[in-house]
């Protein structure tokens, strides 16, 4: 072997070692919070017409079932309670609320490295939902979801680079008392991940105890208020155009307790919203604008996410179509409305109607995740793991979704065009007196990590190599990865003293770690 060959081999080995090492954020091809906005299904005139229609709906139709406390808050800022019991919103009231609204804020993680800066067209992917079943990929069936499943989901998310936040994806059906379920949901997720968490409350009276738990985890109320690492996912409306009384009361308590709020309007196109895509967007926008007025009436400038979540419906059967092209369009267009108002927003994407992590799940999840990323949705909810039109959740699918979202984020990053990437000098060197190819050149090797996203589990081997490796199965690989993660202690686990104190204060159902 010549000296030149030795140096080359050593260089390759060094580069392999470098690639095996953990990458810093600035070395990765993708990273949380990249900006989208290139996908614009709505024209500027479309946006103006949707905005005007939403204002008309709020002025002329308004919302019913406002709690007494909400009526008091809303009347103070100029909303009008009609003889029919509906609260209507003059457009000046909406305009005033938009002016007071928080346009940029941080969703904190317990670990600051997971902080999410929400503004403009920054994009983050995470979980969400309230699935009542777990997908058993081995038995190809469904079973009731448990508190342990929820903790395990958070623990898995904590180890996935492309899952940036963890909103509760499943209901702990084995905790029968609603108060204990809400409190154990917080314990299970917080002890599983240090990323930002979203949760909801069954009744407003449970909020105060939840805040006590969060103060304890944070190290005191002052520390909690400085960095609130849990947001309230609040279904404040029951479409069409009615406030959800108890949820609104819970929202008021969360706001006063310093908790960010996701204003979630989840209408169903063709059932609880107009069947047209434009009409469903109008109603969802109107409901969220009403919620924004409500939040700023309670506390001006409080962090609130504009959660337009219109879902699609198969009008032939009445089945939900969460994995459809229409769903992707609904969410992408809603992102444009968030940007029009300058308010951080979120929508559901990455869901599938398939019952298992199969080819249907793949195409449905990728379609809406890519659309939402390119449209610049700030918070992409339900981006991985959700099956059967939100009825089922799958740990293996969550892990596979991390790979899928990585590719969606690479689409989001787009194409870098500059003197280096245009590569004219590199073309010259390779073609004139060079090797005639770009394999192994310094330029190619130096950009391997910066320009390309490599899947963790997906196979790119040839059929021959695949056969030699024992024909590995993608689902089996995801299961192995799941078992590897769950076999290790949670990196987010509470220390022994804090865990003991929490267990003395609350009836924690999870076994001690």
Q: What is the largest CA-CA distance in the chain?
A: 93
User: Quick check: is 379 in a domain?
Assistant: yes
Residue 491 has pLDDT above 90, yes or no: yes
Q: Given this model, what pLDDT does residue 3 score? A: 33
Is pLDDT of 23 > 70?
no
Distance CA 132, CA 143 (A): 8
9 pLDDT higher than 50: no
456: number of Cβ within 10 Å: 15
> Percentages helix, strand, coil for the chain, rounded to the nearest 5?
50, 15, 40
> What is residue 318's predicted lDDT score, i.e. its pLDDT?
86
pLDDT at residue 1 tops 60: no
Any domain includes 391: yes
Q: Is the per-residue pLDDT at 8 higher than 50?
A: no
CA angle 299, 300, 303 (to 5 degrees): 85
Q: Is residue 160 part of a domain?
A: yes
Q: Within a domain: residue 510? A: no
Average pLDDT over residues 356-379: 96
Residue 17: what pLDDT?
Answer: 59
Buried b / exposed e over 70-93, threshold 16 CB at 10 Å, is: beebbeebebeeeeeebbbbeeeb
Instruction: Say what the pTM is.
Output: 0.94
Q: Given a cut of 80, is residue 308 above it in pLDDT? A: yes
Supply the pLDDT for residue 12: 54
Average pLDDT, the chain: 94
Is the model's pLDDT at 92 over the cut of 70?
yes
User: Which residue in this structure is represented by tokens 């939040």?
Assistant: 295
pLDDT at 248 > cutoff 60: yes
Residue 89 has pLDDT above 70, yes or no: yes
Q: How far apart are CA 174 and CA 172, in angstroms?
A: 6
Across residues 120-134, what is the average pLDDT? 97
Evaluated on CA atoms 372, 374, 375, 376, the torsion sign reads positive
Q: Which residues contact 374 (CB under 8 A, 6 or more apart)?
A: 36, 37, 38, 39, 332, 411, 412
> Does residue 2 carry a pLDDT above 50?
no
Please check the confidence at residue 440 and state whether its pLDDT lies above 90.
no
Domain ranges, residue 290: 98-413
The residue among 264, 358, 354, 373 whose CA lies nearest residue 311 is: 264
| pLDDT of the residue at 16 | 53
12 within some domain: no
d(CA 241, CA 62): 7
What number is the average pLDDT over the span 113-131? Answer: 97
Residue 63: inside a domain = no
pLDDT, tens digit (0-9, with 9 covering 90-100), for 47-81: 999 999 999 999 999 999 999 999 999 999 999 99
When divided into structural domains, the chain yields a total of 1
| Mean pLDDT, residues 384-401 taken together | 97
CA distances from 229 to 165, 303, 366, 447, 513 (A): 10, 13, 29, 36, 22
CATH code for position 117: 3.20.20.480
Domain membership of residue 418 (yes or no) is no
- Residues 452-487 have pLDDT tens digits of 999 999 999 999 999 999 999 999 999 999 999 999
Higher pLDDT, 445 or 343: 343
- When mean pLDDT is compared across 107-121, 259-273, 432-446, the lowest value belongs to 432-446
For residue 203, pLDDT over 60 is answered with: yes
Overall average pLDDT of the 368-394 stretch: 97
For the chain, give the percent of residues with pLDDT over 90. 90
Q: Would residue 432 count as lying in a domain? A: no
Whether 513 has a pLDDT exceeding 90, the answer reads no
């Amino acid at each position: 072997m010549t000296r030149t060959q030795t140096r080359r081999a050593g260089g390759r080995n060094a580069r392999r070692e470098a690639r095996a090492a953990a990458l810093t954020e600035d070395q990765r091809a993708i990273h949380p919070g990249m900006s989208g906005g290139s996908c614009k299904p709505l024209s500027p005139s479309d946006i103006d017409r949707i905005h005007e229609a939403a204002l008309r709906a709020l002025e002329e139709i308004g919302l019913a079932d406002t709690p007494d406390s909400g009526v008091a808050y809303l009347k103070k800022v100029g909303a009008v309670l009609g003889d029919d019991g509906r609260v209507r919103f003059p457009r000046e009231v909406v305009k005033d609320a938009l002016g007071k609204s928080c346009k940029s804020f941080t969703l904190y993680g317990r670990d600051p490295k997971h902080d999410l800066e929400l503004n403009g067209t920054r994009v983050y992917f995470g979980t969400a939902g309230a699935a009542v079943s777990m997908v058993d990929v081995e038995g190809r069936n469904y079973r009731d979801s448990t508190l342990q499943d929820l903790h395990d989901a958070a623990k898995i998310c904590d180890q996935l680079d492309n899952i940036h936040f963890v909103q509760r994806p499943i209901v702990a059906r084995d905790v029968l008392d609603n108060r204990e379920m809400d409190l154990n949901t917080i314990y299970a997720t917080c002890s599983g991940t240090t990323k930002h968490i979203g949760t909801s409350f069954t009744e407003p009276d449970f909020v105060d105890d939840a805040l006590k738990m969060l103060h304890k985890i944070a190290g005191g109320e002052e520390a909690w208020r400085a960095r609130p690492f849990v947001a309230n996912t609040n279904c404040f409306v029951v479409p069409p155009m009615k406030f959800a009384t108890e949820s609104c009361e819970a929202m008021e308590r969360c706001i006063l307790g310093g908790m960010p709020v996701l204003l979630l309007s989840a209408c169903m196109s063709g059932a609880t919203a107009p069947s047209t895509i434009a009409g469903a967007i109008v109603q969802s926008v109107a409901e969220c604008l009403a919620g924004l007025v409500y939040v700023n009436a309670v506390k001006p400038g409080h962090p609130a996410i504009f959660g337009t979540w219109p879902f699609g419906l198969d009008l032939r059967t009445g089945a939900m179509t969460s994995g459809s092209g229409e769903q992707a369009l609904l969410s992408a267009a809603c992102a444009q409305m968030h940007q029009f108002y300058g308010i951080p927003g979120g929508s559901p994407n990455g869901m599938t109607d398939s019952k298992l992590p199969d080819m249907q799940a793949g195409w449905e999840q990728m379609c809406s995740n890519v659309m939402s990323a390119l449209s610049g949705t700030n918070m992409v909810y339900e981006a991985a793991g959700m099956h059967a039109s939100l009825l089922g959740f799958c740990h293996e699918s969550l892990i596979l979704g991390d790979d899928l979202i990585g590719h969606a984020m690479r689409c989001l990053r787009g194409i870098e065009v500059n003197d280096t990437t245009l590569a004219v000098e590199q073309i010259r060197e390779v073609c004139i007196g060079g090797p005639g190819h770009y394999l192994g050149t310094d330029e190619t090797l130096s950009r391997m990590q910066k320009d390309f996203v490599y899947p963790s589990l997906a196979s790119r081997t040839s059929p021959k190599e695949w056969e030699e490796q024992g024909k590995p199965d993608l689902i089996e690989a995801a299961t192995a990865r799941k078992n590897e993660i769950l076999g290790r202690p949670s990196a987010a686990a509470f220390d022994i003293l804090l865990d003991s104190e929490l267990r003395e204060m609350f009836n924690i159902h999870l076994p001690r770690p």
